[in-house]
């Protein structure tokens, strides 16, 4: 007595299942980068808290580095999630759709992700170039701002590559 279709009524989702074991090696760079970024973020934050507690002085530059590391970690994590086919999705509504509409909705989600990350690559490149051309510096450390902003288009390109791989691996009827 259920309202909608059950799991047995339709074929398994085309890209919700984890990536096959043969694809595990592809995840290694993103997983290591996420782990290294998280470790560095934890050490910097812990050092700042420790110094603030012991001396009542804050390392102002740590916030600048921490924000950059969070952006880097988010983009590496996004690339890994798309490779695993476990990216963020609102599935409550989508899973209640009939199989053809479900496939179209998933295809649209991947196309929208491709467009969004392509836009991030283009606009991020323009932002990094502007930071470089106008010699913008960071507020706390006075470093060239483009050293931080250049990673947005570079890592967005990595995520875009992973989304395209997910799109290509989807079954032909789901593309």
* Sign (positive or negative) of CA dihedral 168, 162, 87, 30: positive
pLDDT on residue 140: 87
**pLDDT 10s digits, 66-100:** 999 999 999 999 999 888 878 777 788 888 999 88
**pLDDT 10s digits, 131-153:** 999 999 999 899 999 999 999 99
pLDDT on residue 89: 78
Residues in the chain: 175
139/150 Cα distance (integer angstroms): 17
Could you tell me the CA-to-CA distances from 116 to 28, 124, 157, 159, 163 in Å, in that order? 25, 12, 11, 10, 11
pLDDT on residue 138: 93
Q: Round the average pLDDT of the chain to a whole number and report it.
A: 85
Q: Is the pLDDT of residue 2 over 50?
A: no
Q: What does the pLDDT average to over 51-60?
A: 86
Determine which of 72-81, 98-107, 166-175 has the lowest per-residue pLDDT on average: 166-175
33/44 Cα distance (integer angstroms): 16
DSSP letter (8 states) at residue 137: B
């Amino acid at each position: 007595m259920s309202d909608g279709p059950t799991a047995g009524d339709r074929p398994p989702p085309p890209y919700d299942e984890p990536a096959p074991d043969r694809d595990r090696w592809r995840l290694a760079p993103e997983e290591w980068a996420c782990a290294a970024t998280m470790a560095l973020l934890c050490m910097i934050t812990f050092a700042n808290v420790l110094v603030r507690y012991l001396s009542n002085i804050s390392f102002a530059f740590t916030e600048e580095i921490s924000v950059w590391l969070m952006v880097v970690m988010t983009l590496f994590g996004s690339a890994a999630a798309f490779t695993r086919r476990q990216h963020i999705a609102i599935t409550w509504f989508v899973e209640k759709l009939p199989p053809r509409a479900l496939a179209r909705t998933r295809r649209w989600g991947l196309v929208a992700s491709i467009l969004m990350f392509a836009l991030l690559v283009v606009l991020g490149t323009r932002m990094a170039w502007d930071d470089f051309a106008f010699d913008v510096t960071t507020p706390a450390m006075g470093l060239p701002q483009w050293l931080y902003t250049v990673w947005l288009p570079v890592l967005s390109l990595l995520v875009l590559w992973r989304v395209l791989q997910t799109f290509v691996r989807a079954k032909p009827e789901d593309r």
